[in-house]
Amino acid sequence: MGVHYSREHGDMIPSYVCQASAVRRAGKTCQMVPCKIVDPAVAALMIEMMTPMALAVTLEIQRELEARVREIKTGRRQHVERLRYEAELVRRRYMKVDPENRLVADGLAAEWNDKLHRHVEAVEEYERRSKQQAATLTAEIRHRILGLAEQLPQIWNDPRVDFRERKRIALLLIEDIP
């Protein structure tokens, strides 16, 4: 099914058209259904499904995911600290080694450099992931989302909202479904 627009009394009137037969076998249009028949039923179902309760459940799942992200962040931070501690231990051993014992000193210096390099990489990864995860929902945003859910029926049924805008709203809601 595709959408076909026609002009009627200066207005654009959308209709759903099945043209599979016409495209595949140069046949006739299978069927044509005016959007004014289908759209109200789809809109009612969509509005019913986008209740504040449904959004509250979605936001609760988001909070649970954020809690897991915090646990992961804590684990990463502990990993960074462990690598820092290991680098510090190797530094202490390096500082205590007799400079005359070059073989041991060179081995400890290489190990120290390796530990410092791994620590720097872990810090950079920690900071990169922290920035990515900083975009979590705040309480204010959650409140605004729930408010929009309550206003969706009024927005949808507002005569000033063009049918194209309604289609965009529906598309955004459908794309968000996992």
The predicted model gives 117-129 an average pLDDT of: 92
**106-110 average pLDDT score:** 92
| Spans of all domains in the chain | 2-49+141-175, 67-135
Give the separation between CA 70 and CA 59, rounded to whole angstroms: 16
Secondary structure class of 18 (helix, strand, coil):
strand
pLDDT digits (tens, 9 = 90+) for 42-92: 888 877 777 776 777 777 777 787 788 889 889 999 999 999 999 999 999
Angle, vertex CA 16, rays to CA 11 and CA 18, nearest 5: 140
Q: What is the percentage of the chain residues whose pLDDT exceeds 70?
A: 92
Structure tokens at 126: 């920690």
Residue 109 has a CB neighbour count (10 Å cut-off) of 15
> How confident is residue 119, by pLDDT bands cut at 50, 70 and 90?
very high
- Measured CA to CA, the distance from residue 173 to residue 171 in angstroms comes to 5
Report the alpha-carbon distance of residue 11 to residue 2 in Å, rounded: 19
Closest-CA residue to 125 (of 79, 88, 160, 94): 79
Report the distance separating Cα 157 and Cα 43, nearest Å.
9
Q: In the chain, what is the straight-line distance between the N-terminal and C-terminal CA atoms, in Å?
A: 22
Regarding pTM above 0.85, the answer is no
